[in-house]
Amino acid sequence: MAQATFTDVMLPEEANHLAPDGSQVRELARLAGGTMAHFTLPPGAVSKAVRHRTVEEIWFILSGRGQMWRRSGRMHEIADLAPGLSLTIPLGTSFQFRTDGDAPLTAVAITMPPWPGAEEAEFVDGIW
Residue 4 has pLDDT above 90, yes or no: no
Q: How far is CA 51 from CA 43, 44, 56, in A?
A: 23, 22, 10
List, for residues 57-115, the tens digit of each pLDDT value: 999 999 999 999 999 999 999 999 999 999 999 999 999 999 999 999 999 999 999 99
Residue 23 one-letter amino acid: S
**Is residue 80, in this structure, part of any structural domain at all?**
yes
**Is residue 88, in this structure, part of any structural domain at all?**
yes
**Is residue 11, in this structure, part of any structural domain at all?**
no
How far does Cα 100 stand from its chain's mean position?
17
Query: Sign of the CA dihedral 104, 65, 106, 89?
Result: negative
CATH number of the domain where residue 79 is located: 2.60.120.10
**Is residue 124, in this structure, part of any structural domain at all?**
no
Which range marks the domain in which residue 92 is found? 17-117
**Is residue 73, in this structure, part of any structural domain at all?**
yes
Residue 1 has pLDDT above 90, yes or no: no
pLDDT interval class at 3 (50, 70, 90):
confident
State the Cα–Cα distance between residues 121 and 25, nearest whole angstrom.
14
pTM > 0.85: yes or no? yes
**Is residue 30, in this structure, part of any structural domain at all?**
yes
Total domains, the chain: 1
Residue 2 has pLDDT above 80, yes or no: no
State the Cα–Cα distance between residues 43 and 69, nearest whole angstrom.
17
Q: What share of the chain is helix, strand, coil (3-state, %, to 5)?
A: 0, 50, 45
Question: What whole-number percentage of the chain has pLDDT above 90?
Answer: 95
